[in-house]
Amino acid sequence: MDIPFRKSAMKVGIEHVRAMTKAIDLTIPEDELLPVAIRLSALLEIMEKIESELGDQMDTVDPVPPVFAEIARLP
């Protein structure tokens, strides 16, 4: 895939996941924290890439879900 990865500022480790899950009253066993940290870091990293490419354009649109437009155009 053509999405180059770079060292990211937005990434989380096990200790962050532990704190974040505690904040939403969710308890995850210790041995399952790492996969969550890796998954979340991957998403945050890619969001940085998207921001760097589309950020200015993203400021110009509303975050409308892909359902209302069709409904609104209906008679």
Partner 1 sequence: MIESRQLSPVELVHIYLKRIERYDGILRSYITVLAERAVEQAKIAEQEIAKGNYRGILHGIPYGVKDQLYTRGIKTTLGSRILQDYVPDHDAAVIERLNAAGAILLGKHNLHEFGKGGTIDFPFGQPRNPWDISRTPASSSTGSGIAPAAGLCSGALGNDTGGSIRWPAAANGIVGLRPTFGRVSRHGGLMFGWNADTIGPMGRNVFDCAALLQVIAGNDSRDALSARVPVPDYISALTKDLRGMRIGLIREMTWVEGMHPAVKGAMEESVRVLRSLGAKVEEMSLRLAKYAVPLQMMTTDADVASVFLKKWLRTDWDRFDKGTRSRLATACLIPAPIYNRAMRARVLVRQEMLDALKNYDALITATHLQPAPSIDKSKETVGTVSDMMERVLRRRISTWPFSGANVPAIALPNGFTDDPLPMPVSLQIASNPFSEETVLKIAYAYEQATVWHKRHPNLDFTTRQLTS
Chain residues in the site for partner 1 (CB under 8 A) = 1-3, 5, 11-12, 17, 20-21, 24-29, 32, 34-36, 38-47, 50-51, 54, 57-59, 61-67, 70-71, 74-75
Of 54, 40, 55, nearest to 10 (Cα)? 40
Apex 50 CA angle, 44 and 54, nearest 5: 145
9 or 26: CB nearest partner 1: 26
Residue with tokens 């904040």: 23
Comparison of 9 and 64: residue with beta carbon closer to partner 1: 64
Cβ at position 71, least distance to partner 1 in Å = 6
Q: How far apart are CA 67 and CA 57, in angstroms?
A: 21
